[in-house]
Amino acid sequence: MIDQIHSNLFKPFFNLVGVKGKIMGIAIILILLLASLLILESEDIFTQVLRHEVEKQGISLAQYIAVRSEDFLLTNNLFGLHQLIKDVMNNNQELAYILIFNSQGELVSDTFGRKIPKELIDFNQNFNQISSNQDYSSKTFRNEGGIIHDIAVPIWQGRYGIVRLGVTEVYIDQALTKLKYLLWFSTVLISFLGIAIAYFLANLINKPLSELVTATGKVGSGKLDYRVSLDWAEDELGKLGQAFNNMTAKLQRTAIERRKLWKELQKKEERRQYLLNKVIMAQEEERKRIARELHDETSQALTSLNLALANLENTDEQKKFNERIKMMKKTIAKVLDEINLLARQLRPSILDDLGLAAAVENYIKESSKYWNEDVGLHINGLIDTTLAKEVEITVYRIIQEALTNALRYAEADNISVIINNREGNLLVIIEDDGCGFDLDEVMNSDRTQEHLGLLGMQERADLLGGELTIETGEGNGTTVYVNIPVNDTSIIEEEFDD
């Protein structure tokens, strides 16, 4: 509660001026406080010194009068005595009075002329007494004129009497007035000098602070390349500027990386959306292909078989009958082979029964026979190894797509497939020494069938957290590298639906 009250009282005053005003205000307040303390302390010390000097001067004058008045008192020359104290009074304006008493304590000469103030007689009789063995006695009292230093000096050890004189502080007051003017004048000069120095220091401190405030606004508005130039400062402000620049540099790098990742994410999302939009089209194309295969091959073979059966009824000779039966068996075998091939292309059952190695080996064998092209195969690390179903179907489909492209377009003399399972990574390489192609041109072209096939391979690898790299060039052949982690089964849990 108290802290809240202090805070509410302090905040309005604190927020009246900026940092520069606060620094200058503090400097001015400190200068005025120090100057006031200096003036008061100097006045006290100077007053004590001057009072000591006044007392010494009064003692010297009293001793002088005591020595000179011996002869006048011895000869009872009151006129000479009076002339002596008159001369001393005229030559020393700070003296208030001079009194001379004889040995019986009677006043024989004074500077008042007519009547001595009663308070002075009482003071001399009651307060400032002196014995014969004292050199002097000094007391202080105050009257209407101010402070008086009353000094008593014995005349010839008190045998002839006593000299008493009063010394005022008029010169002390004048000296103190001059001293005060001098000190205040010096204070004003020092204050102006202090204000100038404070203004310089305030600007020196406020400049980097203002620059940091400006930089904060720039960075807040999105200008992450803005930097503060505080290299000249080697103190905490310089360190603050360096820390600010380091922070903005990290923010800039983070923003660049974020924009890069965002662009990559947008590109992947665009590719994913395109592939998803193509799913239905791909399904329809697959249905058309199956229908075409059934119509062009199976249907024609069955039609031919039907005609053969019709002609078989009109065949009388056993030999022709046997030949037609043999031809019909070949047609039936061909139809069965085509139907089996079509089924295996849709979903190879050997992949589920015997695993990836056997499925790839069987597919390469059939492809080599169909395309009349030898394909090399090297498999390492898959014996007695069970891979996740999604890994097996992904790798199989990538090999199927890459190998089909090589057999159909590459015009290669040598084609090879390498599968290597080692240290939790499945590495697949499909390479040929064919004509190759311009990868950038294909990837940046309109959505062709070749483009869609490459995107499909890339998407399959990405879904398993893997990497797919294609190295090719016109006349340099083509190599497809696929690297898929096989230990992290949490990447994708659901089975691929092909």
Structural domain contains residue 162: yes
> Phi first, then psi: what are they for 222, rounded to 5°?
110, -5
Strand 478-485 vs strand 467-472: parallel, antiparallel, or unpaired? antiparallel
Tell me the residue range of the domain where 72 lies: 2-186
d(CA 225, CA 17): 32
Exposure b/e, 49-85, CB count within 10 A at least 16 = b = ebbeebbebbbebbbebbebbeebbeeeeeeebbebb
Q: For 183-201, what is each residue's pLDDT tens digit?
A: 888 878 887 887 788 777 7
Residue 427: pLDDT band with limits 50, 70, 90: very high
Q: How many domains would you assign to the chain?
A: 2
Q: Which pLDDT tens digit goes with each residue over 359-406?
A: 899 889 888 888 888 999 999 988 777 788 888 888 988 998 899 889
CA angle centred on 180, ends 146 and 53, rounded to 5°: 55
Neighbours of 460 (CB within 10 A): 23
- The stretch 37-52 carries a mean pLDDT of 83
Residue 24 lies in a domain: yes
Q: What is the CATH number of the domain that holds 157?
A: 3.30.450.20
pLDDT digits (tens, 9 = 90+) for 222-262: 777 777 776 666 666 677 777 878 888 888 888 888 888 88
Question: Which two structure tokens, joined as six digits, stand for 317?
Answer: 């000779």
Amino acid at position 478, single letter: T
Distance CA(483)–CA(464), nearest Å, equals 10
User: Residue 389 and residue 397: Cα distance in Å, rounded?
Assistant: 12
In residues, how long is the chain?
498
Highest mean pLDDT among 61-75, 113-127, 281-295, 324-338: 61-75
Query: The domain spanning residue 487 has which CATH number?
Result: 3.30.565.10
- Torsion, Cα of 402, 404, 406, 409 (10° steps): -130
Is 431 a domain residue?
yes
Cβ count near 101 (within 10 Å): 20
Domain boundary among 153, 186, 219: 186
186, 201, 221 - which closes a domain: 186
Q: Cβ(150)–Cβ(166) under 8 Å?
A: yes
- Where does the pLDDT of residue 294 fall: very low under 50, low under 70, confident under 90, or very high at 90 and above? low
- The yes-or-no verdict on residue 461 having pLDDT over 70 is yes
pLDDT of res. 276 = 62
The pLDDT assigned to 336 comes to: 77
SS3 category, 385 = coil
The reply to whether 222 falls in a domain is no
CA dist., res. 47 & res. 54, Å (int): 10
How confident is the model at residue 469, as a pLDDT? 92
Long-range contacts made by residues 452-457, C-beta under 8 angstroms, separation at least 24? 452/275, 452/278, 453/401, 453/405, 455/271, 455/274, 455/275, 456/275, 456/397, 456/401, 457/397, 457/398, 457/401, 457/402, 457/482
Work out whether strand 375-380 and strand 415-422 pair parallel, antiparallel, or are unpaired: parallel
Contact present, 129 and 137 (Cβ < 8 Å): yes
Q: Which of 65-74, 102-111, 416-425 has the lowest mean pLDDT?
A: 102-111
Give the integer Cα–Cα distance in Å for 429 and 398: 10
> Residue 55: CA atoms inside 13 Å, Cβ hemisphere, count?
14
Count of beta carbons in the 10 Å neighbourhood of residue 478: 24
Strands annotated E in 242-394: 375-380
Cα–Cα distance, 13 to 17 (Å, whole number)? 8
User: Does some domain include residue 421?
Assistant: yes
Tell me, yes or no, whether 337 lies in a domain. Answer: no
pLDDT, one tens digit per residue, over 45-58 is: 888 888 888 889 99
For residue 411, pLDDT over 70 is answered with: yes
pLDDT at 284: 63
Please, what is the average pLDDT of the chain? 78
Q: Is residue 450 part of a domain?
A: yes
Whether residue 122 is contained in a domain is answered as yes
Reported as a single tens digit per residue, the pLDDT across 321-372 is 777 777 777 778 777 777 776 666 666 677 777 888 888 998 898 888 888 8
Q: What is the dihedral of CA 439, 445, 447, 451, to 10 degrees?
A: -10
**How many Å apart are CA 183 and CA 34, to the nearest integer?**
12
Q: Hey, what are 480's tokens?
A: 């497809």
DSSP assigned state of 435: -
Q: What does the pLDDT look like over 315-327, one tens digit per residue?
A: 667 777 777 777 7
Phi, psi (deg, nearest 5) at residue 16: -70, -40
Q: What is the pLDDT of residue 279?
A: 57
Q: What is the pTM of this model?
A: 0.41
pLDDT tens digits, one per residue of 107-163: 888 888 767 776 666 666 555 567 767 888 888 888 777 888 889 999 888 888 889
Confidence at 490, pLDDT banded by 50, 70, 90: very low
Which residue's entry shows tokens 């590298």? Answer: 481
Q: Which amino acid is at 254?
A: T
Quick one: pLDDT band at residue 4, thresholds 50, 70, 90? Answer: low
What is the end-to-end Cα distance of the chain in Å, rounded? 72
Last residue of a domain, one of 163, 186, 209: 186
